[in-house]
């Protein structure tokens, strides 16, 4: 019984020391810098979401995939993934473009939530995402603000 406790204590101490070896990273700074319409199919609308990712850390961030979920006016609107890979150098930034899809049901849900005179422009949004980086390298982020859409997409739905 003592040997079991000794093994468990050793494993606990080993896992705590392993956590201390993981780099202490500051969170990424994420800004939505644009939306561009993409060719749509049937009952879905597609956009390219451009995000500026700033790395305020002393080490580079390697990633091998990006996932985004966009919520507008408190309702899920779009989601998208990209298998792009790259590296964001230390104290550097890059702009990533991720295609997202908006289903007809999401459009309907947004339409029911808007008044007759309200548009999607200046509505609050929350963008949740992650940069995939392996077992311990995946970085999650949340960005929020107000939509500022191009003139061709600001009409009511």
pLDDT digits (tens, 9 = 90+) for 18-67: 444 455 778 899 998 988 999 988 888 899 999 999 999 999 999 999 99
| Residue count (the chain) | 157
- CB-count burial class (<10 Å; 0-12, 13-18, 19+) for 26: exposed
Residue reference for tokens 């990712």: 53
At residue 98, does pLDDT exceed 80?
Answer: yes
Q: Where are the domains of the chain?
A: 25-153
How high is the pLDDT of residue 156? 41
Report residue 155's pLDDT band, with 50, 70 and 90 as the boundaries.
very low
CA–CA–CA angle 146, 151, 157 (5° rounding): 75
Higher-scoring residue by pLDDT: 76, 95: 95
Q: How far apart are CA 10 and CA 79, in angstroms?
A: 43
At residue 111, does pLDDT exceed 60?
Answer: yes
Q: Which residues contact 115 (CB under 8 A, 6 or more apart)?
A: none
Closest CA relative to residue 26, chosen from 54, 64, 62, 65: 54
For 134, phi and psi rounded to 5 degrees?
90, -170
Identify whether the C-beta of residue 63 lies closer than 8 Å to the C-beta of residue 79: no
Higher-scoring residue by pLDDT: 61, 107: 61
pTM for the structure as a whole: 0.71
At residue 87, does pLDDT exceed 80?
Answer: yes
CATH classification for the domain delimited by 25-153, as one of 2.60.40.10, 1.10.3720.10, 3.60.110.10, 2.100.10.30:
2.60.40.10
What does the mean pLDDT of the chain come to?
A: 80
């Amino acid at each position: 019984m003592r040997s079991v406790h000794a093994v468990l204590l050793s494993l606990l101490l080993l896992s705590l020391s392993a956590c201390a070896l993981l780099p202490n990273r500051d969170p990424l700074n994420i800004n939505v810098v644009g939306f561009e319409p993409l060719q749509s199919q049937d009952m879905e609308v597609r956009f390219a979401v451009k995000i500026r990712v700033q790395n305020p850390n002393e080490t580079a961030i390697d990633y091998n995939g990006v996932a985004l979920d966009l919520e507008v006016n408190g309702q899920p609107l779009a989601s998208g993934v990209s298998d792009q890979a790259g590296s964001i150098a230390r104290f550097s930034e890059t702009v990533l473009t991720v295609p997202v899809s908006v289903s007809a049901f999401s459009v309907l849900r947004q339409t029911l939530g808007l008044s007759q005179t309200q548009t999607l422009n200046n509505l609050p949004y929350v963008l949740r995402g992650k940069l995939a980086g392996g077992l311990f390298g995946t970085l999650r982020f949340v960005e929020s603000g107000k939509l500022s859409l191009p003139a061709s997409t600001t009409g009511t739905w």
